[in-house]
Amino acid sequence: MFEQLLLFFGSIDVRLQAGDVILILLEQGIPVLLKHVSRRFSSKKRTRRIEVELEDKISALPDELLVQILSLVPTKDAVATMILSKRWRYIWTMVPKLDYNMNDGIHKVGFLDFLFGKSYQRWFLRFIDESLLVHKAPVLEKLAIELGGKCPVDVNVDVGKWIEKAVVSKVREIELVLMWSAEHTSLPKSLYTCNTLASLSLFGKIIVDVPSLACLPSLEELELNSVVYKDEDSLARLLSSCPNLKYLDVERHPQDNVKIFNIKAPLLENLYYLYVELRSHDEGTGGGTLAIDSPALNEIFIADYSGDSCSIENKPRLDKAFISGSCYPDDKFMTCLSSVRYLELVLNFATFVWFNTINFSQLLECKIRLVHELDWLEPLMFLLQNSPNLKVLSIDKTFIRYVEESPLSWNQPSSVPECLSSHLEIFEWNEYGGRNEEKELVKYIFANSNCLQRARFSLKSTGKKNKKKMMEELGSMSRISTSSQLLFSTELEYVSVIYETCSGFGPIFRIFSGYFGLEV
């Protein structure tokens, strides 16, 4: 029966989106929809009878199956099925996932204005109110609400009421995005004592005001994006109320009321921290602090451009790290980086010193991103000297804006780095420009990398003749590893085994497909 149902849905004209189907229902009635569907799979001799039979077959399915089907479509479309028949009137109320996005269907504003005599946004707010009021699934797996900039400010929007309804419904996941032009809003205290909540994502004009008795025993994933904290104590109470927190994603802005951002979470494994308060190198520190006390931390992503200091306690054994920005880590933080096996680093003046002071004894794969023209060759050689087990090295100059090329200096090391003589297998360079000093670096790596398996180059856009010349120059360079491959492409994308942490739980691979035009 389920396979037949899938075939039925698959027969609908793919040009019709679910929201369009619902609006056809509202505007012209169910017969129009059935006529459109039957056009694809019925003969002209069996129109009306098959339409009725198909409707009866779907309606005869068990409630559990219908609920599963409605869980796969947008909430507004699932709710709209209540007008199909008495059989469908209350099916949608048992759907365990509710997703309200004010930006969906915005192109239908004219029709909805005519239908309701109000704007689409006003109708949408009323729709959330009334649908949540009658929703009766025993467990709400997910509530997602996104209100955009066009949300009317002269309407009393009770976000707290929606959250309280979710808490009563034993919600497991909440995503709340408030990008409206109204003032920041606080959330009900019951949110911070919800013992079923496993994932919480707050974005935008939200005040995080955490009561002293907060307790979130099931929370494992937390995202705080551009929110404002009542004070630093609220942040501390929030994190201390989550004893099982394993994934934390923070994106800050300068007016969030926090000077010392203290992350204390004993079971935290993955940390994503973004703070964009742009400062030049000459401006020095920002006066704030990022303090991390998470002994189980395994993966860390820090893009901090505030100039703040950064400290870490309890010596977590980091495995993967992405570091960017102008933060100033203390000695303990840099010591923790010595355990990483996968490192992605954006080079700047603040990170230069790391290469000469940190012993990356466990490092297997390293990607270096350059966003400014700096004299980076010598720091790179320090990195190679201090990474004896490195197997994959990637240089990425994609994000450099070539206004004026800064001078580079190349000094051949007095001794060959151990990683080149014994371990390096993959060498990649994105946006290779073919400067004399860069050529000397490539020659040195080719001449000393005994285990090299492949070298890949994406060439800087300097015209076809120049690209051909660069390819010929690279192809003529002697490689000590006779079995290595040399690959070129003008559209090379980095092929990485570095893990990427995202809002889903745990690491996933980032996979790119490149086009390699020449193999030597």
Q: What is the pLDDT of residues 301-320, one digit of tens each?
A: 999 888 888 899 888 999 99
Q: What pLDDT shows up at residue 357?
A: 83
Q: What pLDDT shows up at residue 496?
A: 39
Q: 498-509 burial, b for 16+ CB within 10 Å, e for fewer?
A: bbebeeeeebee
Neighbours of 204 (CB within 10 A): 18
- What's the rounded Cα separation, in Å, for the pair 431 and 425? 20
Instruction: Give the phi and the psi of residue 486 in degrees, each rounded to 5.
Output: -115, 120
Q: Which residue has the higher pLDDT, 218 or 84?
A: 218
- What's the rounded Cα separation, in Å, for the pair 366 and 334? 16
Report which of 185, 200, 97, 79 is spatially closest to residue 141, judged by C-alpha positions: 97
Q: What is the pLDDT of residues 365-381, one digit of tens each?
A: 999 998 877 888 988 99
Neighbours of 168 (CB within 10 A): 11
Q: 3-class DSSP state for residue 364? A: coil
> How do the domains of the chain map onto residue ranges?
1-95, 246-279+288-340, 350-489
Report which of 205, 301, 200, 185 is spatially closest to residue 241, judged by C-alpha positions: 200
Residue 502 pLDDT greater than 70, yes or no: no
User: What's the first-to-final CA gap in the chain, in angstroms?
Assistant: 56
User: Computed over its alpha carbons, how large is the radius of gyration of the chain?
Assistant: 29
Helix or strand holding residue 17 (H, E): none
Q: What pLDDT shows up at residue 492?
A: 41
Lowest-pLDDT choice from 141-150, 244-253, 492-501: 492-501
- What's the rounded Cα separation, in Å, for the pair 38 and 11? 9
- What's the rounded Cα separation, in Å, for the pair 70 and 73? 6
Instruction: Give the Å distances, CA to CA, from 417 to 164, 342, 393, 412, 426.
Output: 60, 19, 13, 11, 15
Torsion of CA 321, 323, 327, 331, to 10 degrees: 40
Q: What is the residue type of 352?
A: F
Q: 3-class DSSP state for residue 248? A: strand
- What's the rounded Cα separation, in Å, for the pair 308 and 469? 45
**Beta strand spans in 286-425 (E):** 289-293, 299-304, 309-313, 320-325, 328-329, 342-347, 365-370, 392-396
Q: What pLDDT shows up at residue 51?
A: 52
Q: Which residue has the higher pLDDT, 101 or 342?
A: 342
Helix or strand holding residue 473 (H, E): helix 464-476
Q: What pLDDT shows up at residue 152?
A: 66
Q: Which residue has the higher pLDDT, 116 or 74?
A: 74
Q: What is the pLDDT of residues 150-161, one digit of tens each?
A: 776 657 788 999
Q: What is the pLDDT of residues 156-209, one digit of tens each?
A: 788 999 999 999 999 999 999 998 877 889 999 999 999 999 999 999 999 999
Residue 87 pLDDT greater than 80, yes or no: yes
Torsion sign across C-alpha atoms 197, 201, 205, 210: positive
The tokens describing 123, both together, are 């109708």
Helix or strand holding residue 503 (H, E): none
Instruction: Please list the residues that pair with 142 across neighbouring strands.
Output: 97
Q: What is the pLDDT of residues 16-60, one digit of tens each?
A: 344 444 443 443 333 333 344 334 434 444 555 555 555 557 778
Q: What is the pLDDT of residues 403-439, one digit of tens each?
A: 556 788 899 999 999 999 999 999 999 999 888 999 9
